[in-house]
Amino acid sequence: MCGIVGYVGKHPVTRVLIEGLRRLEYRGYDSAGVTVVKDGQFQTLKSTERVEALAKDVAKAKLQGTYGIAHTRWATHGGVTLANAHPHHSSDGLFSLAHNGVIENYLKIKKFLLEKGYTFQSETDTEVLVNLIAYHYQKQPVAADKNRFLESVRRSLRHVEGTYGIAVICKEHLGEIVAARRGSPLILGVGDGEHIIASDVAAIALHTQSVVYLNDEEIVHVTDKDFSLSTIDEDDIEAVIHTVDWSIEEAELGAFKHYMEKEIFDQPVALENAMRGRFSDDGSTSKFGGLNLSPQELRQVDRILFCACGTAWHACLVAEYLIERYARIPVEVEYASEFRYRNAPLDKNTLVFILSQSGETIDTLGALREAKRKGHKTLAIVNVVGSTIAREADGGIYQHAGPEIGVASTKAFTSQVMVAAMMALHLGRIRDMSYSEGQAFVEALKQVPAQVQSILDQSEAIKAIALKYVDAEDFLFLGRQNLFPIALEGALKLKEVSYIHAEGYPAAEMKHGPIALISPECPSVFLVAQEDTYQKTISNIQEVKARKGRVIAIAHEGGDFPKDLVDDLILIPECHPAVQPILATIPVQLMAYAIAAARGCDVDKPRNLAKSVTVE
């Protein structure tokens, strides 16, 4: 959600900034802008179209400079207009600023600044912040041993309530960038004679593999040759430089038309990576190196709480079914955005799991901090090494799914479900799961990448089925037990990328309301488990057909599924019950993608959505 790039160094600045914005497009945005400095003056261009349109404007204007900042905006305060697009300048013309986050007390600060004679051209909270910096710069010249620019930013941020990731430049301090964060991610790329500020490592990896992850309340002062890191309260910090563990080639489209399509087909490798090195030598259980909890401590857990948002919340629901079934531990699943505000009573022996692909989701980070504040052990399942949630949790598991660019999560979701299944196995074996049961579970997990590939090999047939329903405006997704979360996920994927209204329900709940929607114009996708609820789900399908509803069924091979009962049938391999949610996910992803592409939707950047939600 929003993206920042700042650069000072030896390369043409506009090329670096525009390329950085391109690599941040997946985060979601509705306008973009760039400010570069040439001959001591700001040169700024903005666009309410895509980054490519901004790039053409920059080339046409022959915009050049020695260093600068750039931004993609996802609107919070004020509509999508050129005036509201970033970067914003102070009314005295000295400062330019790009900002992610929300300044909650901006109206109070704005009133104060208006009384001091500062003017405003936009509706944004960001323009308030850049004028506040200008105010402190003019009001409080600092001692000769301090950098006036840096100190004006520092003093301004002490008055700010809310979240921010900012990059600021000043006409009177050429070749310098000041950046800071609270609640909104920010990373420093450390190069040879160059430094890059960005809200995501994707904008940095093309230039350097060495990065510094800023923590909340930290501020960095950058030149082309050096940088210094400190806190808002002026405590110096020794920077820890990390090495980025993925190459830029992993984020390239290759032969695929969209990133969503590519990432659907990445799943066999992503699932293999999630398992690599994580099984015991005797093949009877899973193992994790970063939990920081002993088997004895895990045996003391009486209850598990999972917190997440969006697609990750659906992965948590699958985890609930698997852990309760195979480890016999009570599990509760909470929306992270609700948990942090509702003061839920938790037993002292409750273990809290936090799921976030990016590791930066603001509500999920807030839930993590609330759980830690109350003294609970916290474990994170994240995909991004060095992310804030990964650093703040007591322990955790990296998914190793590789960069996910498409806004609609695909491989990150199935990777999360894979890790959840492995955790159910791990906890089950610590408790009362037998050796032979553990071996069967491990063998089932190891087969998943090949089974997923076998479904992907049917992709053209699945897409052909999907295209029969491209004109539908409503869909129902129905499943039972651990396939119910996949019904929710299938509905969400279709909504996200095709803008078709879709709902997910337990199949038996259809009679309690949703059956009123059944008609030839509202298709139903049934996810059919091969276990106890099989016949019950067949009865639910018959109820839909009796009302002239169209049915697409996703069922297992080798059964006696009544093919004549449904309009279309997609078969997935027979499998262990623990892994059927992963296999059932692949067809619904392919269907959502095919329908969205056929409807001409912007598949990778759906309207109004952001990849990483970093504002409340």
Give 214-223 pLDDT, tens digit per residue: 999 999 999 9
613 is a domain residue: no
Domain check: are 478 and 574 in the same one?
Answer: yes
pLDDT reported for residue 454: 97
Say how far apart CA 319 and CA 336 lie, in whole Å.
16
Does the pLDDT of residue 615 top 60, yes or no?
no
231 is a domain residue: yes
pLDDT tens-digit readout, 479-500: 999 999 999 999 999 999 999 9
Domain check: are 349 and 221 in the same one?
Answer: no
Backbone dihedral region for residue 54 (phi beyond 0: left; psi -120 to 50: alpha; all else: beta): alpha
Spot the catalytic one: 411, 493, 605, 611.
611
- Identify the residue whose tokens are 């057909």: 545
Nearest to 498 by CA among 544, 526, 466, 520: 466
Identify the domain boundary among 440, 457, 474: 457
Q: Which two tokens stand for residue 202?
A: 């994707």
CATH of the domain at 110: 3.60.20.10
Identify the domain boundary among 457, 472, 487: 457
Does the pLDDT of residue 458 top 70, yes or no?
yes
Domain check: are 240 and 253 in the same one?
Answer: no
Does the pLDDT of residue 308 top 60, yes or no?
yes
Nearest to 472 by CA among 489, 495, 496, 490: 495
Does the pLDDT of residue 144 top 80, yes or no?
no
614 is a domain residue: no
pLDDT reported for residue 139: 86
Does the pLDDT of residue 469 top 90, yes or no?
yes
Say if residue 195 is exposed, middle or buried (CB neighbours under 10 Å; 0-12, 13-18, 19+).
buried
pLDDT reported for residue 246: 62
169 is a domain residue: yes
Say how far apart CA 50 and CA 485 lie, in whole Å.
34
Domain check: are 182 and 262 in the same one?
Answer: no
pLDDT band at 614 (very low <50, low <70, confident <90, very high): low
612 is a domain residue: no
Please answer whether residues 302 and 347 qualify as being in contact, where contact means their C-beta atoms are separated by less than 8 angstroms: yes
Contacts of 241 (CB under 8 A, 6+ apart): 190, 210, 211, 212
Domain span at residue 183? 3-244
Of the two residues 166 and 30, the one the predictor is more confident about is 166
Domain check: are 106 and 155 in the same one?
Answer: yes
Identify the domain boundary among 187, 219, 244: 244
Does the pLDDT of residue 235 top 80, yes or no?
yes
Give the mean pLDDT of 373-380.
Answer: 93
Residue 195 parent element (H or E): strand 195-198
361 strand-pairing partners = none
CATH of the domain at 380: 3.40.50.10490
Domain check: are 469 and 451 in the same one?
Answer: no
Share of the chain above pLDDT 90, in %: 70
610 is a domain residue: no
Give the mean pLDDT of 39-54.
Answer: 92
Say how far apart CA 70 and CA 199 lie, in whole Å.
11
pLDDT reported for residue 116: 94
Least confident of 48-62, 165-179, 527-541: 527-541
Does the pLDDT of residue 616 top 70, yes or no?
no
Does the pLDDT of residue 577 top 70, yes or no?
yes
Report the chain's mean pLDDT, rounded to a whole number.
Answer: 91
Domain check: are 364 and 219 in the same one?
Answer: no
Give SS3 for 270.
helix
Residue-by-residue DSSP string for 369-391: HHHHHTT--EEEEESSTT-HHHH
Domain check: are 53 and 116 in the same one?
Answer: yes
Give the mean pLDDT of 176-205.
Answer: 91
Give SS3 for 312.
helix
pLDDT reported for residue 345: 80
pLDDT reported for residue 145: 65
Is the preceding omega at residue 562 within 30 degrees of 0, hence cis? no
Domain check: are 431 and 373 in the same one?
Answer: yes
Does the pLDDT of residue 450 top 80, yes or no?
yes
Phi–psi pair at 358, nearest 5 degrees: -75, -25
Tell me whether strands 95-100 and 88-89 are parallel, antiparallel or unpaired.
antiparallel
Please answer whether residues 474 and 501 qualify as being in contact, where contact means their C-beta atoms are separated by less than 8 angstroms: yes
208 is a domain residue: yes
pLDDT band at 360 (very low <50, low <70, confident <90, very high): confident
Count how many domains the chain has: 3
Please answer whether residues 558 and 572 qualify as being in contact, where contact means their C-beta atoms are separated by less than 8 angstroms: no
Domain check: are 464 and 453 in the same one?
Answer: no
Asked whether the whole model's pTM tops 0.85, one would answer no
Contacts of 381 (CB under 8 A, 6+ apart): 353, 354, 355, 356, 396, 397, 399, 416, 419, 420
Domain check: are 128 and 53 in the same one?
Answer: yes
Please answer whether residues 68 and 16 qualify as being in contact, where contact means their C-beta atoms are separated by less than 8 angstroms: no
Say how far apart CA 218 and CA 237 lie, in whole Å.
9
Instruction: Give the C-alpha distances (Å, rounded to integers) separating 380 from 2, 186, 387, 396.
Output: 24, 20, 11, 4
Please answer whether residues 73 and 32 qualify as being in contact, where contact means their C-beta atoms are separated by less than 8 angstroms: yes
Strand arrangement of the beta sheet that strand 524-527 belongs to: 501-506, 474-479, 524-527, 551-556, 568-572
Backbone dihedral region for residue 31 (phi beyond 0: left; psi -120 to 50: alpha; all else: beta): beta
Domain check: are 544 and 419 in the same one?
Answer: no
Of the two residues 340 and 269, the one the predictor is more confident about is 269
611 is a domain residue: no
Give the mean pLDDT of 528-556.
Answer: 88
pLDDT band at 415 (very low <50, low <70, confident <90, very high): very high
pLDDT reported for residue 251: 65
Does the pLDDT of residue 141 top 80, yes or no?
no
Give the mean pLDDT of 410-420.
Answer: 97
Give the mean pLDDT of 303-328.
Answer: 96
Tell me whether strands 31-38 and 95-100 are parallel, antiparallel or unpaired.
unpaired
Active site includes 116? no
pLDDT tens-digit readout, 61-117: 988 888 999 999 877 878 889 999 999 999 999 999 999 988 999 999 999 999 999
Please answer whether residues 42 and 66 qualify as being in contact, where contact means their C-beta atoms are separated by less than 8 angstroms: no
Helix axes 459-467, 580-598, angle to 10 degrees: 50
Residue type for position 469: Y
Active site includes 2? yes
- Identify the residue whose tokens are 């299938």: 490
Give the mean pLDDT of 235-264.
Answer: 83
Sign of CA dihedral 197, 198, 199, 205: negative
pLDDT reported for residue 443: 97
